[in-house]
Structure 1
Amino acid sequence: MKKTIFVFSSLIIALLVLFKLSEYSYLSGNLNIELLISAIAILFFIIGVYINKKGLAEKESGPIEVDWKKLENLGISKREYEVLQQVVKGLSNKEIGERLHLSESTIKTHVSNLLVKLDVKRRTQAIQKAKELKIMVE
């Protein structure tokens, strides 16, 4: 966090210095306005490329692997896990039942079992907890 604050503070200071230099150059008549705008555009382009590369480097940390041992320790069955995958997609019980070829009441049972096993009260909490426990990837 400190590094990010330092980088952005440095960028702001560099921009302020650039603006003051360009103001001085423009007032003294040594620089055309087009060159001033071009210099500022190039600077912002370089800053954008730097920030983009940094963001991509953070995202390329690798895929999150499912922790199958935790899944087993929680006692979540294969079918419950399939239901959890559908819950993460935001599907309703009826939609999950249609996809997995199960009745809606069976899906309700699996969802309630998942809530108990994950020690949560709502589906959204179950999704969050599953991601925290690394038993579900995004």
Structure 2
Amino acid sequence: MLKTVLRFGLIIVALLVLFQLSNVSLFIPSLPADVVISIAAVILIALGIYLGGNIKKDKVIEVAPSHEIDVEKINSLGISTREMEVLKLIAQGLSNQEIAERLFVSESTIKTHVSSLFVKLDVKRRTQAVTRAKEWRVIS
């Protein structure tokens, strides 16, 4: 938030400087206002490129996924084979209806499995369930 405020503050200051530089042509009559504004614009663009290049971006560190599934963790959580199938399909981004069609069961059965998974993984949303399952190496 502070970076955003500072950036907008610098933009406002740059615009004010640009407007003040346009008044320079009043003191130097031989120099047209367009030339002064053009020179100021080039200087400010160069300054913006220089400062923009120095802004540090957040580094994204990707962790290589572990392909080993922790069977003991699955057993300790009490996740059934069908719930594992449902969890893998949730991780693929399928809706309850799509999962039901794939597994040849009703949508309410899938909702029951999803609710059971939420309790076992101690989460409240599908995305949290997938994240937690990957953290605990329940799915890859």
User: TM-score of the superposition, structure 1-length normalised?
Assistant: 0.56
Q: Which has the larger radius of gyration?
A: 2
What secondary structure sits across from 2:104 in the alignment?
coil
Q: Which position in structure 2 is the counterpart of 1:32? A: 36
The structure whose residues are more often helix, as a share, is 1
Matched, 1:91 2:91: no
Query: 1:43-83, CA deviations, whole angstroms, 9 ceiling, x for partnerless residues?
Result: 555565556x614x2xx211474784654532224442331
RMSD, aligned CA: 3.9
Using the alignment, how far apart are the partners of 2:62 and 2:112 within structure 1?
35
Using the alignment, how far apart are the partners of 1:44 and 1:73 within structure 2?
56
% same residue: 29
Q: Which position in structure 1 is the counterpart of 2:78? A: 75
Q: Which amino acid aligns with 1:116?
A: V
Q: Which consecutive unaligned segments of at least 5 residues does structure 2 have?
A: 26-30
Matched, 1:113 2:116: yes
- State the aligned residue count: 123
